[in-house]
Amino acid sequence: MNGRTNVASLRGVTKRYGAQVALHGIDLELRRGELLALLGPNGAGKSTAIGLLLGLIRPDAGEVELFGRDPQQLAARRRIGVMLQSAELPATLRVGELLRLTASYYPEPLSVAESAELAGIDDLLMRPYAKLSGGQKRRVQFALALCGRPELIFLDEPTVGLDIEARTKLWAAIREHVAAGCSVVLTTHYLEEAEALADRVCMMAHGRMIHEGSVDELRARVAVKRIRCLSALPIDIVRGWSEVNEVRRDGERLHIGTAEAENVVRRLLDADHALRELEVHRAGLAEAFTELTRDVSAEETAMAEQAA
Amino acid sequence: MSPRRVAGAYLAEARSECLRYLRAPSFMLPMTLFSTVFYLMFGVLINHGNGDAARYLLASYSTFGIIGPGLFGFGVSLAIERDGGLLTLKRALPMPPGAYLLGKMLMAMLAASFVTVLLLCVGVFLARVELTLGQMAALLATGMFGALPFCALGMFAGTLIKGQGAPGMLNLIYMPMAFMSGLWLPLPMLPKFIQQLAPIWPSYHLNQITLAAVGLNHQALWPHVLVLCAFAAAFLLLAARRLRRYG
């Protein structure tokens, strides 16, 4: 990757907290105009990776670059926007004042009115931050992340506590920015959020990058497909078929997990002529996620057992 | 980024810092009224017109009042902002790091000046302490700049403690230090070893300067100024190091 398309990177980065290793020599590249979703269970090392890219912490080994510089330099951070889930903004300041303050950190910010419009908070400018609802606070934080005309935005769980309509609006605003050439790093627990927005997904577990690729590639790595149908077939017969990984009955409905959906469907139709409402789904990101993180846990347990 | 815009960031930060505390007076008010209430009680109501005592107490309660905004304004707000993630966000944003500290410093200096003005009013109008304009100005200036070493101390304390426990912890520094440097009872009335220990407290040195401002101390002031400067520099460095490393 050359320097022009690469906006930020971690190279062979290790970070320890005491005896605990938070990151085991990970590599990560953020490209221009791309939305990267960073996924992983709590404690996977997502926050540490973000903290390093923001210059909040320093690596024990490896290199961290933000626009070709050390992220602790102001000049590098003047090109980013940040939305952190945990930050409690000053309660008594008005929304307009918060926007003006944050914009003052940047060389060529948007006007207060422009950033308010982008985030849909025009009507909130005179309200004290403490008086806002949870969803309004998220939108204000989003406006603060945009107000400096950033080339790279860090969004940490941006839609926690938002209702569906507000979430869809925020997604649309994020997509617009990516379309305009802005890069975004998104950390989220909502897998559908990553599915809806991400060009690329990096999945972390136990301080390692366990998968990197497009949403489709990630899904493909998990070959499991889900078959659902209404059938009177006894569950034990289906379980006996070699292609079937798992099967479960829920009233009249059968749920089958398999890597060879075509063969299983053929056998199902042969075995039960009264079968109705047949559906076949590809595994979603959620399944891929559980599958991949389970693999890693199993490997680690095995390694630990070997060592013991 | 142009120097003008950087200066603008400093200004915006200072403005926000002052605004947010002026709108939430419950944070600063107890600290600022404490010394005034003490002075009203001991310098006016109980004192029955002893001019020298009223003058002495004006100085020592000024010292007591000046320390509060620096120690608490910095210590408590830093401890809470570290806890609430605001400091993390500000460190991630391209905020000039000095702007954050300067904003808080300015607010502490404002509050300390406000305390000094309140005490001067009580002293001049109620306790009938006769002061020249020069003496009043000297006390006010001491109030403004005397807050700075305690900002540094508060800042260091704020990097060690987190969250809502901060006011209690800071009182454990504030109250004993005030007592042991003779701000509540004059030092000569205290046990010998406390008198001997007094010069290790920064509040003792600040008190020598406020005493001089109201005309009760005619010795050289530069040693006290020097000690306070050294004290401020030492704690500022310690705090800055901790903030850079741990946030």
Give the phi and the psi of residue A73 in degrees, each rounded to 5: -80, 135
* Cβ separation A84–B89 shorter than 8 A: yes
Cα nearest neighbour of A89 on chain B: B86
Query: In the 3-class helix/strand/coil scheme, how is B35-86 assigned residue by residue?
Result: HHHHHHHHHHHCCCCCHHHHHHHHHHHHHHHHHHHHHHHHHHHHHHHHHHCH
Strand ranges inside A32-177, DSSP E = 35-39, 61-66, 80-83, 152-156
Measured between CA atoms, how close is B89 to chain A, in angstroms? 6
Asked if residue A280 lies in contact with residue A294, where contact means CB atoms within 8 angstroms, the answer is no
Measured between CA atoms, how close is B99 to chain A, in angstroms? 10
pLDDT of residue A301: 64
Alpha carbon B99 to its chain's center: 19
Q: Which residues of A touch B95 (CB under 8 A)?
A: 105
From the list B2, B11, B86, which residue is nearest A88 (CB)? B86
Query: Hey, which residues does A212 pair with through a beta bridge?
Result: A202
**Residue A301 in contact with partner chain B when CB distance is under 8 A:** no
pLDDT of residue B74: 87
Asked if residue A157 lies in contact with residue A188, where contact means CB atoms within 8 angstroms, the answer is yes
Widest pairwise Cα distance in chain A: 71
SS3 A288: helix
Identify the residue among B93, B104, B243 best suited for mutation to test binding to A, counting A beta carbons within 10 A and taking the highest: B93
Q: How many CB atoms neighbour CB A101 within 10 A?
A: 26
Q: How many CB atoms neighbour CB A148 within 10 A?
A: 26
- B173: nearest Cα among B75, B239, B32, B247: B75
Ranges of each domain in chain A: 6-216, 223-282
Inter-chain CB pairs, A–B, below 8 Å: 81
Q: Give dist(CA A108, CA B7) in Å, integer.
A: 14
List the A200-205 sheet strands across, edge first: A80-83, A152-156, A183-187, A35-39, A200-205, A208-213
* Cβ separation A82–B89 shorter than 8 A: yes
Asked if residue B240 lies in contact with residue B75, where contact means CB atoms within 8 angstroms, the answer is no
Q: Which residues of B touch A86 (CB under 8 A)?
A: 84-85, 88
* Cβ separation B13–A88 shorter than 8 A: no
Give the phi and the psi of residue A123 in degrees, each rounded to 5: -80, -5
The Cβ-side half-sphere exposure at B15, using a 13 Å CA radius, reads 13
Cα nearest neighbour of B85 on chain A: A87
Measured between CA atoms, how close is B224 to chain A, in angstroms? 37
SS3 A212: strand
Q: What is A6-216's CATH number, 3.40.50.300, 3.90.1170.50, 3.40.50.620, 3.40.1280.10? A: 3.40.50.300
Look at the block and give the residue holding tokens 């034990």.
A236
Give the phi and the psi of residue A147 in degrees, each rounded to 5: -65, -20
Asked if residue A101 lies in contact with residue B10, where contact means CB atoms within 8 angstroms, the answer is no
Identify the residue among B80, B82, B89 best suited for mutation to test binding to A, counting A beta carbons within 10 A and taking the highest: B89
Q: Which residues of A touch B5 (CB under 8 A)?
A: 104, 107
Those of residues 52-111 in A touching chain B at CB distance below 8 A are: 54-57, 74-75, 77-78, 80, 82, 84, 86-93, 97-98, 100-102, 104-107
Query: One-letter amino acid identity for A227?
Result: I
- A198: nearest Cα among A50, A46, A39, A37: A37
* Cβ separation B5–A104 shorter than 8 A: yes
Those residues of chain B whose CB sits closer than 8 Å to some CB in chain A are 1-2, 5, 8-9, 11-13, 15-16, 19-20, 23-24, 84-86, 88-89, 91-96, 247
Task: Check residue A94 and report its DSSP letter.
Answer: B
Ranges of each domain in chain B: 3-246
Bridging pattern class, strands A183-187 and A35-39 = parallel
Q: Which residues of A touch B98 (CB under 8 A)?
A: none
CA angle, B247 then B86 then A25, to 5°: 50
Q: Which residues of B touch A106 (CB under 8 A)?
A: 1, 94
**Residues with pLDDT less than 70, chain B:** 247
List the A253-258 sheet strands across, edge first: A244-250, A253-258, A225-230, A276-282
Residue A84: in which H helix or E strand, if any?
A: none
From the list B1, B11, B19, which residue is nearest A107 (CB)? B1
Complex-level ipTM beyond the 0.95 threshold? no
Those of residues 125-184 in A touching chain B at CB distance below 8 A are: 128, 148, 154
Q: What is A223-282's CATH number, 1.25.40, 3.30.410, 1.10.260, 3.30.70? A: 3.30.70
| DSSP string over A243-256 | TEEEEEEETTEEEE
Measured between CA atoms, how close is A55 to chain B, in angstroms? 7
Q: Which residues of A touch B11 (CB under 8 A)?
A: 104
pLDDT of residue A3: 45
* Cβ separation B93–A100 shorter than 8 A: no
* Cβ separation A77–B19 shorter than 8 A: no
**Residues with pLDDT less than 70, chain A:** 1-4, 222-223, 284, 295-308
Q: Give dist(CA A292, CA A295) in Å, integer.
A: 5
* Cβ separation A74–B96 shorter than 8 A: yes
From the list B20, B89, B94, which residue is nearest A106 (CB)? B94
Angle between helices B222-246 and B202-213 (to 10 degrees): 140
SS3 A42: coil
* Cβ separation A101–B93 shorter than 8 A: no
Scored b (16 or more CB within 10 A) or e, B162-182 reads eeeebbebbeebbeebbbbbb
